[in-house]
Amino acid sequence: MKKLEELYPQVGFDVLLKNIVSNVDEVSENCLFVCTVSDSLDNHNFIDEAVKRGASCIIVSKDVGAKSVPVIKVPDTNRELPFLCQKFYDYPDLKLKTIGITGTDGKTSVGKIIQTLIGSDVCGYLGTNEKSCAKFSTFTKKSYDCTTIYNDLAEFLRFGCQDVVIEASSEALSRGQLQAFNFDMSLFTNISSEHLNIHGTFDNYLKSKLNLFRQTKNEGFCILNKDDKFFDTVKNYCNGQVLTYGIDAGCDLQIVSKKFFPTKTEITFKYHDTEYNVESPLLGGSNVYNLACAILATINMGISIDNILKRIKDIKIEGKLEILNTNTNYYVMVDDAHTINSIFRLLDFVHLLDVNRVIVVFGIESSVDKALRPKMGNIIVANATYAIFTSSGKDASLVDDVTAELKNKVNNYEIELDRRRAIQKAIDMALEKDIVVILRENKNYELENLNIDDIKEAYSAVANRKIREEN
């Protein structure tokens, strides 16, 4: 808690504040309400509601007249908010070593790998849907804004963390939620044409990503995927020392070779002219890059490569190319691939395995750009023996969008809006050495709204099938 005069000494109001919010639905007694503005929402319109709910002070950038609580006018509330949160929570970002990760795919995986390699007792992880350290793990759909970010950083400090890995999403970067940060390390995974429903154009999307590298400390590091076609573009915006990973011999961490198995990946990395043979529990070609990125980052955080290699066996990312332990003669895999690029790479990897038929269960989130939905449907039926299209929300319009270009052209798919039934159908369909690939929608959407967890549902479907077969 802080007094208003500690944040704005010139105002002279002795008002006690317990937190800062920019969403009127989160206003409670003794909070500071900041009237941020977006293309679709102007929080100046909710001032009276905020006061009614108990706000003790209002920060504005427009003339709103006198209110029953102090009103402080600033030039730009959007810019004011992150620096205000930074001050309110006593600058937690300056007390932690901050690692920002951006890219279209792989942010969560790289973040969780780094946390494992460093140790969750000293490293916190802050993603768009999860925050965790050794003391706690919380899945949340609370708005990912700087009021949440700085509160979480302060919480990490209280639990003894020294480092924090932050998923720097394009939306958070474009909205300026992270603009007060000077990152110790910034990581780039890859970029493809996604999220245009938010950014409008690919150029806007790319520019939002580049903000992370501008905000890296001069003495910091930028860890870049040299094999991505936008490598040179990202490099031009980097502060600090640029380090690279990829298959090129000139990379700081080179991916020399990789061999895939249904339950592991064997990789040879080269660092400082020494080759290291690694057995990774992570599957797929994308996770070879994710692991390379994480290893290079943690080496340059001062962790010895020997300690890093010892901890690779402990890496586990739930729902990321996860082969379930079903004790059956067929395989069941769960993954949260939800972009065109990640879906294609996943199915491409599955075909490298010693399996027969590939049966895919796919549901789509409403947040996916409508123009991309048919492309996802095309990729899935082209790379699967059979596909079942579904939706956690049983939204027929979303499934219609995905299958719009498939009707009367192919017959290796069906629609089953009930997601539980879709998973059961796929499991029942599997024969020896077949693989059922369940592409899950946003985990929190399932858990919080409809109580559907694809991993639990898959195990349940396997159990149901075994019971029927025994009888």
In the predicted structure, residue 142 carries a pLDDT above the cut 80: no
User: Around 352, how many Cα atoms within 13 Å sit in the side-chain half-sphere?
Assistant: 17
230 and 104 belong to one structural domain: yes
263 and 377 belong to one structural domain: no
In a domain, 87, yes or no: no
Residue recorded with tokens 């930074």: 86
In the predicted structure, residue 449 carries a pLDDT above the cut 50: no
331 and 305 belong to one structural domain: no
Domain with 335, as residue range(s), is: 322-470
Encode pLDDT of 53-95 as tens digits.
999 999 999 999 999 999 999 999 999 999 999 999 999 999 9
Alpha-carbon distance of 268 to 458, in angstroms, equals 33
The residue among 294, 314, 334 that closes a domain is: 314
Q: Which two tokens stand for residue 384?
A: 């699967």
Specify the 3-state DSSP secondary structure of 261.
coil
Encode pLDDT of 327-348 as tens digits.
999 999 998 887 888 898 899 9
In a domain, 83, yes or no: no
Nearest to 420 by CA among 380, 452, 467, 466: 452
Phi, psi of 71 (to 5 degrees): -120, 125
Q: What per-residue confidence (pLDDT) applies to 446?
A: 41
In a domain, 428, yes or no: yes
Mean pLDDT of 186-190: 96
346 and 465 belong to one structural domain: yes
Nearest to 239 by CA among 178, 183, 191: 183
The residue among 50, 78, 106 that closes a domain is: 78
**Counted domains in the chain:** 3
The residue among 78, 109, 142 that closes a domain is: 78
Query: How many CB atoms within 10 Å of residue 233?
Result: 14
Residue recorded with tokens 């792989």: 106
By the 8 A CB rule, do 16 and 54 touch?
Answer: no
Alpha carbon dihedral 373, 377, 379, 382, in 10-degree steps, equals -160
Q: What per-residue confidence (pLDDT) applies to 194?
A: 58
CA distances 152 to 91, 127, 172, Å, are 12, 11, 15
Q: What is the pTM of this model?
A: 0.83
Q: How confident is the model at residue 406 (pLDDT cuts 50, 70, 90)?
A: very high
Q: How confident is the model at residue 178 (pLDDT cuts 50, 70, 90)?
A: very high
By DSSP bridging, strand 183-188 and strand 130-133 are: unpaired
Q: Which two tokens stand for residue 168?
A: 């720097």
Encode pLDDT of 88-133 as tens digits.
999 999 999 999 999 988 899 999 999 999 999 999 999 877 899 9
298 and 347 belong to one structural domain: no
Phi, psi of 358 (to 5 degrees): -115, 115
71 and 114 belong to one structural domain: no
194 and 213 belong to one structural domain: yes
182 and 205 belong to one structural domain: yes
Average pLDDT value for the chain: 90
